[in-house]
């Protein structure tokens, strides 16, 4: 199935898979932030007011000191736990980690996850309407991971949280964890960045640039102003190519070999214009993303990941990480070829009170989303440290 073709039910994907006001809200709650003064952006300009979609699980204690902030990755959103339902086309992406008796035990902790700045699932981003009533589209400013964290800080203020027991997240979410720990150390009792580095490497920038070029080179991109296009007329081909490449980097060579090898897709002959099973797998992920995500958001957030550098304006990476005050668990994945283990080792060596934990997984970078039982066991000690008064 190609990202540019109709689904099995004959429907074409919408121009944008973004959530829009009037769609079922699901479990989302909404906060309107920066109403008195806009958010100054790290690089240039400002934004505000901003709408932020978030979800919570469990209950806050009397002092709101039992909060855990979960930071999602590139194509994640606020729906970290819970079933598929109207407003949420997929089950929670960390469902195995959040809930009664799980590592993020909602009988003890109040868990909060917000859709990131620039996102497309309820938080202001390229698909959102600007003050003039038109989608931001090509007018969306360049925002950084540090800007994303600043919005989460403002949400924390709105929720009455002075200090989080734990700030945790993987990939782009791990980058925000680092920004929290460096930029707002007094508000973090414990930190757990997963599957990320202190700054994006040349290879990561290169891989992610190819993905952005695939989208912006799609004729239906229209410079970023495609949101009023008819179903099937959005930049789905470019978004699909980007997703296919990303999906390969998210998984390991060993897993792809074990799952697919050179097997043909069922009922198809690859030597007669059919597909190999692994090609069908990539087509599926491309089509699925086109129906729940926005191409402009993909470009904006990927650019933010390319720009990630926790040492920028802080005297360099080592100086910045030396200021982290919270006990920190740095989690790396042994088969991760996108954010290789040496990057997490370097983080753990540079942060004063840090420990490196290795997640053993065949699944590559996506191991933090799949091997949640093992990850939960790794997180329990740092959760206990953050829960201490």
Q: What is the pLDDT of residue 3?
A: 39
CA distance linking residue 9 with residue 377, whole number of Å: 41
Q: Which residues of the chain have pLDDT under 50?
A: 1-8
Confidence (pLDDT) at 389: 62
Q: Pairing between strand 46-47 and 50-57?
A: unpaired
Query: Active-site residue 228, yes or no?
Result: no
Q: Report d(CA 85, CA 90) in Å as an integer.
A: 8
**Per-residue burial over 75-94, b = 16 or more CB atoms within 10 Å of its CB, e = otherwise:** bbbbbbbbeeeeebeeebbb
Q: Is 365 a catalytic residue?
A: yes
Q: Domain extents for the chain?
A: 29-218+308-387
pLDDT at 156: 98
- Characterize 341-369 residue by residue with b for buried, 16 or more Cβ atoms within 10 angstroms of its Cβ, and e for exposed: bebbebbbebbeebebbebebbbbbbbbb
Q: Is it true that domain 29-218+308-387 has CATH number 3.40.50.1820? A: yes
Give the model's pLDDT for residue 165.
98
Rounded to an integer, what distance in angstroms lies between the CA atom of residue 99 and that of residue 105?
5
Of the residues 105, 294, 307, 336, only one is catalytic, namely 336
pLDDT in tens, 235-270: 999 999 999 999 999 999 999 999 999 999 999 999
Contact predicate 359/378, CB 8 Å: yes
Query: Around 235, how many Cα atoms within 13 Å sit in the side-chain half-sphere?
Result: 30
In 3D space, the residue among 24, 9, 227, 252 whose CA is nearest the CA of residue 122 turns out to be 24
Packing angle of the helix pair 236-250, 295-306 (nearest 10 deg): 40
**pLDDT at residue number 9:** 55
Q: What is the per-residue pLDDT for 387?
A: 85
Can you give the pLDDT at residue 6?
46
Out of 171, 200, 252, 361, the active site residue is 171
- According to the model, what pLDDT value does residue 8 have? 46
The residue from 72, 308, 363, 365 that is catalytic is 365
**pLDDT of amino acid 4:** 44
Contact by Cβ (8 Å): 292, 12: no
């Amino acid at each position: 199935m190609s990202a540019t073709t109709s689904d099995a039910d004959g429907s074409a994907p919408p121009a944008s898979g973004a959530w829009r006001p009037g769609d079922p809200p699901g479990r989302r709650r909404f906060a309107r932030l920066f109403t008195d003064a806009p958010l100054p952006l790290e690089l240039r300009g400002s934004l505000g007011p901003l709408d932020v979609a978030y979800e919570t699980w469990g209950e806050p204690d009397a002092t709101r000191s039992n909060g855990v902030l979960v930071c999602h990755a590139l194509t994640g959103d606020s729906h970290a736990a819970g079933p598929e339902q109207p407003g949420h086309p997929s089950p929670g992406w960390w469902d195995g980690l959040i809930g009664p008796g799980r590592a993020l035990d909602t009988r003890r902790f109040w868990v909060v996850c917000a859709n990131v700045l620039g996102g497309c699932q309820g938080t202001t981003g390229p698909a959102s309407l600007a003050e003039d009533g038109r989608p931001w589209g090509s007018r969306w400013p360049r925002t950084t991971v540090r800007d994303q964290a600043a919005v989460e800080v403002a949400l924390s203020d709105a929720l009455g949280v002075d200090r989080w027991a734990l700030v945790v997240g993987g990939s782009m979410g791990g980058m925000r964890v680092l920004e929290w720990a460096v930029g707002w150390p007094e508000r973090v009792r414990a930190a757990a960045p997963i599957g990320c580095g202190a700054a994006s490497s040349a290879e990561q920038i290169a891989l992610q640039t190819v993905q952005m070029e695939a989208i912006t080179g799609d004729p239906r991109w229209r410079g970023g102003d495609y949101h009023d296009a008819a179903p099937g007329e959005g930049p789905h081909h470019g978004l699909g190519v980007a997703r296919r490449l990303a999906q390969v980097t998210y998984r390991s060579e060993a897993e792809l070999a074990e799952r697919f090898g050179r097997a043909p897709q069922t009922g198809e002959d690859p030597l007669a214009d059919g597909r190999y099973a692994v090609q069908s797998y990539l087509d599926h992920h491309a089509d699925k993303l086109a129906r729940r995500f926005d191409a402009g958001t993909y470009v904006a957030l990927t650019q933010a990941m390319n720009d990630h550098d926790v040492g920028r304006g802080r005297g360099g990476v080592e100086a910045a990480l030396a200021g982290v005050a919270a006990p920190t668990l740095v989690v790396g994945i042994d088969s991760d070829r996108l954010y290789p283990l040496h990057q997490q080792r370097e983080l753990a060596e540079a942060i004063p009170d840090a420990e490196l934990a290795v997640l053993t997984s065949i699944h590559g970078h996506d191991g933090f989303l799949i091997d949640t039982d093992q990850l939960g066991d790794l997180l329990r000690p740092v959760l206990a440290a953050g829960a201490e008064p």
